[in-house]
Structure 1
Amino acid sequence: MLSRLKFVPMRLLQAVPVAFGVTLVVFFMVHLIPGNPAESILGAQATPAKVAALTDQMGLNQPVVQQYWHFLSNLAHGNLGESYTYQVPVLTLVWQRAPVTLLLVAYSVVLMLIISIPLSMLAASRPGHVRDHAVRVIPLVGLGMPQFWVGVMLLLVFAVGTGWFPVGGYGDTMMDHLWYLFLPALTLAISISPVIIRSLRASMLNVLESDYVATARSKGAGGRSLFAGHVLRNAIIPAVSIVGVNLGYLVGGTLVIEKVFAIPGLGSMLIESIFARDFPSVQAVALFVAVFVVLVGVLTDVVYTLLDPRVDLTQRMNA
């Protein structure tokens, strides 16, 4: 099995130019944000002299290319700079907030599977039936609803209207976290489930036409036992790639949803940093997200390889 995972170091090596490209794009884009960070830091005490002095102290009056080279030099030593807003190393802020975002992503994936798998099985079990058409409408409706709108609707109904869930926050204990994050995780799950349902349904229909399923039926297998033992186990292999690809989209969605639900994760940090023109914090969050997406892609390939012995990604990468 280890011989089949030789592609992992190569894929991780490919993450280096991706991370470099992200730093390049993000660094120059954040410098296009209008305004001077020194003015945001000084606030009401900002005077031309103080702004000029602080700008010089932070090196913001240097050419952008020189600033970028200084940023890369620090990055090579594991230093992403200090937050202009919080006056602490941005790595400290990232490590404090990353667990919140990662828990939200994992929670969303669990809810997405709980929603997608039963609906896909329901649709594939009777193709062309009323319930199949009903399930197929869900992706059309779901893809047309913006994430923030779904989040606001869930807030109005289940938090403000009924009081079943908190309006925002994160809580203190693990149970509190799961309770506070349920609505935002459900929002993200609803946004990604349509794609998974459509993919998983199509994959199940292909598996249902295979010879081994016909053999299982001839031996008396049917209903839930047929789907659980033969169809779902094989149909979920192609869906793994779809889930892996959409995890990047899911992480991007958390950046907005965290702000809607006042969750102290990386998304809230990014938006606050953009408005405060906190360049180091913006760059750190963007770099973290980029590396996370690349690692998810590698993990997806590993899972796909382990689930399907016929796949040899080492040969594919060398081709």
Structure 2
Amino acid sequence: MSSVRRIGLATLRTLGTVLPVMLGVVVGVFFLLRLVPGDPAQMILGERATPQAVAALHEQLGLDLPLWQQFGDFLGRLLTQGDTGPSLVSGSSTRDLILERAPTSLGIVALALLFAVLITVPLALAAARRPNGTIDHAVRVIPAIGLGMPMFWIGLLLIIVFAVHLGWFPVGGVGTGAGEPLRSLILPALAVSLSLVPPLIRSLRAQLLEVVTADFVTTLRAARIPELRIWTRHILRGGALPTLALLSVNAATLIGGTLVIEKVFAINGIGMLLFTSIGSRDFPVVQGIALTCAVLVVLVGIAADALLGILDPRLRRGSAR
């Protein structure tokens, strides 16, 4: 089968998986938000607003239309403009509001992924090289403790230790000086990554112990291949595949955790915008953020599948069939 045909089949298969998910997200986000108690017009105008003023704002915002008609307008705007509509509070485009804050949130996601890899790989390797040793027991116990700690609690601990007592990082917000934006995102990203690391370490350690007993590893050692090369180029590569798949499954936790941790560190990203919009019942903005997060989760899953195909050619051959 030609490479062009394989790429075409893979694209169609991906679209067949992604489109129903995205359609479900669009329908669910639109209708579930409107079941939440609270009147956006009443919240915008205040408690002392007259019924006539509230009714006029309902008409202006299109909230007096039937739900099916509101959904039709919402879907049409989404498909033609890539926008869920203007904010009910500020009147600004939802797309512009999200794009303005997206770099900060995406920076936390990227750093969290980097930290998760830098923490998981060395610890899993150290544990797998000497099973049931002191390091192995420590690596298995410490992540188990971390599993019982909520992400926001980890963030608060990092603030107390590294920001308040040591003064290495800012307590909150994003600085504007040279290198300050990156420095401001390190603790939030570390908090998110530490919540992802425990299951990743367990998975990678278990896979490494399984691969190290394979016949090809015995053959490599008989050929006098250096042990470090065997571990880094063969054992780690084989054991990383299930762990990478697990990371893609946890993409929703990664992105959702980023939104939550922004609130802890007072970072003006998409997460802060989400909480503000939920409080003011700003439906278009909440819908836009939910759809953006859904797209990010799907993109992370696609990227992970592509990386799995690069690391394991058998997956590419299987998909070609």
Q: TM-score range by the shorter chain?
A: over 0.9
Within the alignment, does 1:232 sit opposite 2:236 as a pair? Answer: yes
Superimposed CA distance per residue, residues 23-80 of structure 1 (whole angstroms, 9 cap, x where no aligned partner): 1111122112222111222237733322221112111122223212221122121231
Superimposed CA distance per residue, residues 260-296 of structure 1 (whole angstroms, 9 cap, x where no aligned partner): 1111211111111000110000000001111111121
| Residue aligning to 1:149 | 153
Distance across 1 between alignment mates of 2:162 and 2:229: 36
Contact 1:166 1:180 in 2 (8 A): yes
Distance across 1 between alignment mates of 2:226 and 2:149: 36
Within the alignment, does 1:305 sit opposite 2:309 as a pair? Answer: yes
Of 114, 124, 129, the match for 2:128: 124
Share of identical aligned residues, percent? 45
Question: How many residue pairs were aligned?
Answer: 317
Within the alignment, does 1:209 sit opposite 2:224 as a pair? Answer: no
Distance across 2 between alignment mates of 1:313 and 1:26: 37
| Residue aligning to 1:273 | 277
RMSD of equivalent CA atoms:
2.0
| Residue aligning to 1:33 | 36
Distance across 1 between alignment mates of 2:119 and 2:168: 20
Please show how residues 144-293 of structure 1 align to structure 2 within 5 Å.
144-172=148-176, 175-293=179-297
Distance across 2 between alignment mates of 1:174 and 1:238: 39
Of 13, 20, 33, the match for 1:10: 13
Superimposed CA distance per residue, residues 76-102 of structure 1 (whole angstroms, 9 cap, x where no aligned partner): 212310011221110111111122111
> What amino acid maps onto 1:119 in structure 2?
L
Of 69, 84, 101, the match for 2:72: 69
TM-score, with length taken from structure 1: 0.93
| Residue aligning to 1:55 | 58
Gaps of 5+ in 1: none
> What amino acid maps onto 2:114 in structure 1?
V
Distance across 1 between alignment mates of 2:86 and 2:20: 24
Of 20, 24, 34, the match for 1:21: 24
Distance across 2 between alignment mates of 1:289 and 1:122: 35
Gaps of 5+ in 2: none
Go from structure 1 to structure 2 and tell me whether the alpha carbon gap of 1:45 and 1:64 turns closer, same or farther (over 3 Å shift): same
Q: In the TM superposition, what is the alpha-carbon distance from 1:216 to its structure 2 partner?
A: 2.2
Distance across 1 between alignment mates of 2:102 and 2:16: 23
Q: In the TM superposition, what is the alpha-carbon distance from 1:201 to its structure 2 partner?
A: 0.6
Distance across 2 between alignment mates of 1:49 and 1:283: 28
Comparing both chains, which one has the higher relative contact order based on Cα–Cα distances under 8 Å and sequence gaps of 6 or more?
1
Contact 1:8 1:298 in 2 (8 A): no
